[in-house]
Amino acid sequence: MEGRGEEAAEPEVSEPSEEEEEEEAEDEGSGSILLLRLRGRGIAHLGCLADCSNLEWLDLSGNAIAGLAPLATLRALAVLNLAGNRVASVEPLRGCHSLRQLNLAGNRLRSLRQLRCLQGLRHLESLRLRDPLGNLGNPLCAAPAYRAALAALLPGLKAIDGQRVAGRGSELFRLCRELDAALDGDEAPAAPAEPPQPWVQAGFWEARPARRSAVLEEATRQLGQALRECRELGRRADDSIAQAQRALGRRHHGDFGF
Between the alpha carbon of residue 53 and those of residues 50, 135, 209, the distances in Å are 6, 33, 88
**Is residue 49 domain-shared with residue 97, that is, in the same domain?**
yes
* Cβ neighbours for 47, distance < 8 A, ≥ 6 positions apart: 70
**Is residue 233 domain-shared with residue 109, that is, in the same domain?**
no
**Is residue 59 domain-shared with residue 156, that is, in the same domain?**
yes
**Is residue 176 domain-shared with residue 227, that is, in the same domain?**
no
Inside any domain, residue 137: yes
**Is residue 108 domain-shared with residue 160, that is, in the same domain?**
yes
**Is residue 168 domain-shared with residue 111, that is, in the same domain?**
yes
**Is residue 172 domain-shared with residue 52, that is, in the same domain?**
yes
Residue 159's φ and ψ, nearest 5 degrees, are -145, 135
Tell me the residue length of the chain.
Answer: 258
| Cα 255 off chain centre by | 109
* Cβ neighbours for 233, distance < 8 A, ≥ 6 positions apart: none
Inside any domain, residue 258: no
Of 122, 123, 134, nearest to 161 (Cα)? Answer: 134
Spatial separation of the C-alpha atoms in residues 2 and 192, rounded to whole Å: 123
Spatial separation of the C-alpha atoms in residues 236 and 248, rounded to whole Å: 19
**Is residue 228 domain-shared with residue 118, that is, in the same domain?**
no
**Is residue 177 domain-shared with residue 223, that is, in the same domain?**
no
Tell me the residue range of the domain where 147 lies.
27-184
- Contact status, residue 55 vs residue 80, Cβ threshold 8 Å: no
Inside any domain, residue 53: yes
CATH of residue 110's domain is: 3.80.10.10
**Is residue 66 domain-shared with residue 176, that is, in the same domain?**
yes
- Contact status, residue 78 vs residue 57, Cβ threshold 8 Å: yes
pLDDT in tens, the chain (258 residues): 444 444 444 434 344 444 443 444 344 456 678 999 999 999 999 988 888 889 999 999 999 999 999 999 999 999 999 999 999 999 999 999 999 999 999 999 999 999 999 999 999 999 999 998 889 999 999 988 898 899 999 999 999 998 887 655 555 556 666 666 666 655 455 566 677 777 777 777 777 666 667 778 888 888 888 888 888 888 888 888 888 888 887 766 655 544
Inside any domain, residue 200: no
- Contact status, residue 57 vs residue 34, Cβ threshold 8 Å: yes
**Is residue 222 domain-shared with residue 179, that is, in the same domain?**
no
Count of structural domains within the chain? 2
DSSP per residue over 78-125, as a string?
-EEE--SS-----GGGGG-TT--EEE--SS----GGGGGGGGG-TT--
Inside any domain, residue 207: no
Inside any domain, residue 203: no
